[in-house]
Amino acid sequence: MFSNKNIRSFVKDGFSKTRREKDVFDSEFKNVSDRISAGKKMMEEKSKNRKLIQNK
């Protein structure tokens, strides 16, 4: 059976693992969001350039 010490250790390890996974997820999410924003900005610039060329 589980003792209080084992249960506390199990819960502590679970919280630590969850926090590490959350940090990794947040980091990856930020990187993807930044890439999407950069791609969107680049596409907007290309769109402006096409409009300028078409309006000549």
pLDDT, position 7 = 92
Identity (one letter) of the amino acid at 28?
A: E
Q: Mean of the per-residue pLDDT values for the chain?
A: 91
Q: Under a CB-based contact definition with an 8 Å cutoff, are residues 50 and 42 in contact?
A: no
- Containing 55, the helix (H) or strand (E) segment is none
Higher per-residue confidence, 52 vs 11: 11
Per-residue confidence at 55, pLDDT binned at 50, 70, 90? low
Task: Note the pLDDT of residue 6.
Answer: 92
Across 8-46, b (16+ Cβ under 10 Å) vs e yields: eeeeeeeeeeeeeeeeeeeeeeeeeeeeeeeeeeeeeee
Does residue 1 register a pLDDT over 80? no
pLDDT for residue 12 is more than 70:
yes
Residue 51: the pLDDT is: 76
